[in-house]
Amino acid sequence: MFALEGSVFICGAVVQWLRDGLGIIKSAAEIEALATSVPDSGGVYFVPAFTGLGSPHWDPRARGAIFGLTRGTTHAHIARAALEAIGYQSAELLLAMQKDAATPIKELRVDGGAAANNLLMQHQADLLGVPVVRPRIIETTALGAAYLAGLTTDVWNGTKEIAEHWQIDRVFEPMISRDEAAQRMFDWSKVVRACNPWGMD
């Protein structure tokens, strides 16, 4: 078996920063309600390059920035832009992987705490143009470790038996055109480039 691995440095941590750094939410779970209280980000883009940018940029000197602020920008717009940033970064990485693998992505199976966020999952499906599939148990990393331990101790007969335990909670289907998705990714790429005015040296 082979796997492609990529690294996005800041995803869920951007929600923690909104909570602990800016204090605009009291708990991570509040961000979806705040973000969905506005119809869109109001033209705001949030690049959470707090520790540089990982795949596919590999730019340690990039720094975080929020673009498109106006007098009408609210906490809700910033929260929505933060969630969208997770989707943009993941989409960049997955599209790069798709090129390397020369294999089309048919669906994206998600896990982790952020997978509970419906707005983020829909945004991810829209950008990638494929269904995003959320399992009933989203803490798949911990579950996978338990499954590996079970394989080692003969609790399971093999990976096929383990796969039979996986169950779908919800599937998010793309709701925008591929042209609109491409435009959104293009706009995102422009703000990402602006996050390192010092160059790559």
**Could you report the per-residue pLDDT of 32-85, keeping only the tens digit for each?**
999 999 999 999 999 999 999 999 999 999 999 999 999 999 999 999 999 999
Domain ranges within the chain, ordered by starting residue: 12-193
**Could you report the per-residue pLDDT of 92-132, keeping only the tens digit for each?**
999 999 888 878 889 999 999 899 999 999 999 999 999 99
Tokens for 24, please give them.
Answer: 């605009």
Class of domain 12-193 as given by CATH = alpha beta
In angstroms, the CA 80 to CA 66 distance is 12
- With CA atoms as reference, report the closest residue to 76 among 14, 18, 16: 18
Sign of CA dihedral 19, 24, 30, 31: negative
In angstroms, the CA 170 to CA 185 distance is 25
Helix (H) or strand (E) run with residue 61 in it: none
- Report percent pLDDT > 70 for the chain: 98
